[in-house]
């Protein structure tokens, strides 16, 4: 594949985008998991699908040549702000925001797809990812947004970490919880929108959660968990992309399967280490 | 240090606090006791600015609470600290460093000096050997010490603790009070401790306040211990049998 990556622009774009997504998806995923918001990624990915369907509809019916990634991103960000508002309205039932937004996203997608009299391979690529769908413009846009996401996370790392661990303490000590929450959810929306080209709408939440679930079993401390999550995410993306390319399978599927294997391995390693330690303690 | 003047508060139709007047002098170790639902946690939330009083004034360090900005002078260990997500993969060092987040400020990164402060706070509560352990692996008493270190790291002048010994075994409660006593006498930190454990608390506190919607008692531990069971039953709203520890 290495020779093909050098030879073909589209493969190079996909591969480099994959590497970037392999960093930012597990990075945000770490905060999502510890805040017990795993399903938010699913809700937002379905809203992104509605945005993509809207973009494709504009392209097909009205010849508007706007990359569906932009409309997907706009819908995702709007959906994230709406989730935050709903979570505040239903304070005692905050998880209600997720099915509301998820079903809203699917509903809108169905409407846009019907209005466009259906889509063909384009939509399939957005659903499950593609090794050949990342254009030069997509790559530049994804890189730019990812750099912004990484800078913002670095700048607000300590606030995000404090709020994730103990919101009451963080608020009492003077952190503006409301604004940091909003910032966090908008970042999540952006990560989902930029990851979709590689893993697809239906599997993007897996790339945000599976590497984190694996690293959680073995990491000591939060920073180490972030480090392991990114490493596992990268392994999953690289192996997934290569195998997807060779077997002509959408990479979303192969990436997720590699991530699941990593997860199973980390669970086994933890179990074996625990048993060995217990045997040693008994002696 | 903290002054409350005629403070009242209600949730919906229920009066929780009525005309509360009291002062916490600098250097005091004040125990706040009273029955469940008597308004202790509400009083703490009012002091921390998490709730606004319906009536009356609160002064922190001589300033009206709405003008008060130096929140890093106040450390807080919440009732909920013990019920944190035990699976959260944070080391003791990482948890304690959270106490500096607001003090360091937005867009700034911790320096070497901040790192030393974190290590010092961990040492101060006797948890040095667990610095890089995940907090979820520690016992309830050890976790509580870590939360105190998180509050101490910003070098507060006043430390507020809301029922911090719930779920902690007797031996660790005893060590915990000794730590509080040291902080109060050696580091000159003023303490406000909400607790049900009146037995141990009376050994260390300098002032005791008994709260059940209104302030029923404010005095020193000797005066509190000399109260009859009939008087205590009147404060608590139900019969009370006073049990004292014999050491």
The predicted model scores a pTM of 0.86
Separation CA B193–CA B181 (nearest Å): 12
**Which of the residue ranges A44-53, A111-120, A222-231 would you say has the lowest mean pLDDT?**
A111-120
Separation CA B25–CA B23 (nearest Å): 6
Q: A220 vs B106: CB contact, 8 Å cut-off?
A: no
Residue B205 resides in a domain: yes
Which chain B residues contact residue A171 at CB under 8 A? 50
Q: A168 vs B80: CB contact, 8 Å cut-off?
A: yes
Which chain B residues contact residue A216 at CB under 8 A? 87, 89
User: Which residue in chain A has the smallest CA separation from B69?
Assistant: A174
CATH architecture under which domain A2-204 falls: Orthogonal Bundle (1.10)
More confident residue, A37 or B170: A37
**B87 touches A at CB < 8 Å:** yes
For residue A281, the Cα-to-chain-centroid distance in whole angstroms is 41
- Find out whether A157 and A40 touch, Cβ atoms under 8 Å: no
Q: How far apart are the CA of A212 and the nearest CA of chain B, in angstroms?
A: 11
pLDDT attached to residue B120: 94
- Find out whether B17 and B42 touch, Cβ atoms under 8 Å: yes
Q: How far apart are the CA of A93 and the nearest CA of chain B, in angstroms?
A: 19
Q: Which of B31, B28, B26, B23 is nearest to B57 (CA)?
A: B23
Q: Look at phi and psi of residue B201 and say left if phi exceeds 0, alpha if psi is from -120 to 50, else beta.
A: alpha
ipTM of the complex: 0.86
- Average pLDDT estimate for B76-102: 87
pLDDT attached to residue A7: 76
- 3 state DSSP class of B207: strand
Number of domains forming the structure of chain B = 1
pLDDT attached to residue B2: 92
Q: B98 vs A223: CB contact, 8 Å cut-off?
A: no
Q: Which domain holds residue B222?
A: 2-236
pLDDT attached to residue B247: 46
The per-residue pLDDT of chain A, averaged, comes to 90
Separation CA B80–CA B47 (nearest Å): 17
Residue B246 resides in a domain: no
pLDDT attached to residue B241: 63
Start-to-end Cα distance in chain A: 51
pLDDT(B246) > 70: no
The CATH number linked to B156 is 3.40.50.300
Q: How far apart are the CA of B101 and the nearest CA of chain A, in angstroms?
A: 6
Burial of B149 from C-beta contacts in 10 A (0-12 / 13-18 / 19+): buried
Q: Look at phi and psi of residue A151 and say left if phi exceeds 0, alpha if psi is from -120 to 50, else beta.
A: alpha
Q: B84 vs A166: CB contact, 8 Å cut-off?
A: yes
Dihedral sign (CA B89, B94, B99, B100)? negative
Of B78, B89, B107, the CB nearest to A222: B89
Q: What is the CA radius of gyration of chain A?
A: 20
Element (H, E) at A222: helix A222-247
Q: A166 vs B101: CB contact, 8 Å cut-off?
A: no
**A169 touches B at CB < 8 Å:** yes
Domain boundaries, chain A: 2-204
pLDDT tens per residue, range B179-220: 899 999 998 999 999 988 777 788 889 999 999 889 888 888
B87 φ/ψ angles, rounded to the nearest 5 degrees: -85, 0
pLDDT tens per residue, range B37-82: 889 989 999 999 889 999 999 999 999 999 998 888 899 988 766 6
B87's CB contacts (< 8 A; 6+ apart) are A216, B136
- Average pLDDT estimate for A196-201: 87
- Please, which residues bridge with residue B14 across strands? B11
pLDDT(B83) > 90: no
Residue B238 — very low, low, confident or very high, per pLDDT cuts 50/70/90? Answer: low
Residue A155 — very low, low, confident or very high, per pLDDT cuts 50/70/90? Answer: very high
Start-to-end Cα distance in chain B: 34
């Amino acid at each position: 594949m290495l020779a093909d990556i050098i030879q073909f622009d589209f493969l190079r774009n996909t591969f480099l985008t994959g590497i970037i997504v392999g960093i930012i998806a597990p990075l945000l995923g770490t905060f999502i998991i510890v805040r017990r918001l795993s399903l938010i990624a699913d809700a937002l990915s379905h809203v992104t699908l509605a945005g993509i369907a809207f973009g494709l509809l504009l392209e097909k019916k009205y010849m508007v040549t706007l990359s569906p990634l932009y409309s997907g991103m706009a819908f995702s960000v709007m959906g994230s702000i709406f989730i935050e508002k709903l979570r505040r309205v239903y304070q005692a039932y905050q998880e209600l925001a997720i099915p509301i937004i998820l079903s809203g996203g699917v509903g809108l997608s169905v409407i846009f797809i019907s209005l466009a009299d259906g889509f063909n391979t384009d939509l399939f690529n957005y659903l499950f990812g593609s090794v050949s769908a990342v254009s030069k413009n997509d790559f530049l846009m994804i890189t730019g947004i990812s750099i912004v996401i990484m800078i913002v996370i670095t700048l607000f790392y300590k606030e995000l970490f404090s709020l994730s661990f103990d919101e009451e303490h963080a608020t009492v000590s003077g952190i503006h919880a409301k604004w940091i929450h909003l910032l966090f959810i908008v970042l999540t929306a952006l990560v989902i929108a930029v990851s979709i080209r590689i893993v697809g709408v239906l599997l993007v939440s897996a790339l945000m959660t599976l590497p984190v679930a694996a690293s959680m079993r073995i990491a000591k401390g939060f920073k180490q968990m972030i480090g392991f999550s990114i490493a596992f995410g990268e392994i999953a993306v690289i192996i997934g992309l290569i195998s997807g390319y060779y077997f002509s399978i959408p990479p979303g599927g192969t990436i997720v399967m590699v991530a699941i294997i990593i997860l199973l391995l980390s669970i086994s390693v933890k179990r074996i280490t625990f048993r060995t330690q217990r045997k040693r303690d008994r002696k | 240090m903290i002054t409350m003047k005629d403070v009242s508060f209600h949730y919906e139709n229920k009066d929780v606090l009525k005309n509360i007047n009291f002062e916490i002098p600098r250097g005091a170790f004040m125990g706040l006791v009273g029955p469940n639902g008597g308004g202790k946690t509400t009083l703490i939330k009012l002091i921390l600015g998490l709730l606004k009083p319906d009536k009356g004034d609160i002064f922190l360090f001589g300033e009206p609470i709405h003008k008060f900005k130096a929140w890093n002078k106040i450390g807080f260990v919440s009732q909920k600290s013990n019920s944190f997500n035990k699976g959260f993969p944070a080391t003791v060092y990482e948890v304690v460093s959270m106490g500096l987040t607001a003090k360091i400020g937005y867009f700034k990164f911790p320096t070497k000096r901040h790192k030393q402060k974190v290590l010092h706070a961990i040492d101060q509560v006797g948890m040095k050997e667990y610095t890089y352990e995940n907090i979820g692996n520690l016992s309830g008493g050890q976790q509580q010490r870590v939360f105190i270190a998180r509050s101490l790291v910003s070098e507060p002048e006043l430390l507020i603790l809301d029922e911090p010994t719930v779920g902690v075994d007797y031996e660790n409660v005893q060590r915990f009070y000794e730590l509080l006593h040291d902080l109060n006498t050696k580091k000159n930190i003023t303490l406000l401790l909400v607790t049900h454990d009146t037995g141990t608390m009376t050994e260390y506190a300098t002032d005791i306040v008994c709260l059940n919607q209104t302030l029923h008692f404010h005095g020193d531990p000797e005066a509190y211990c000399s109260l009859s069971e009939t008087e205590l039953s009147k404060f608590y709203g139900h019969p009370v049998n006073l049990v004292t520890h014999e050491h």
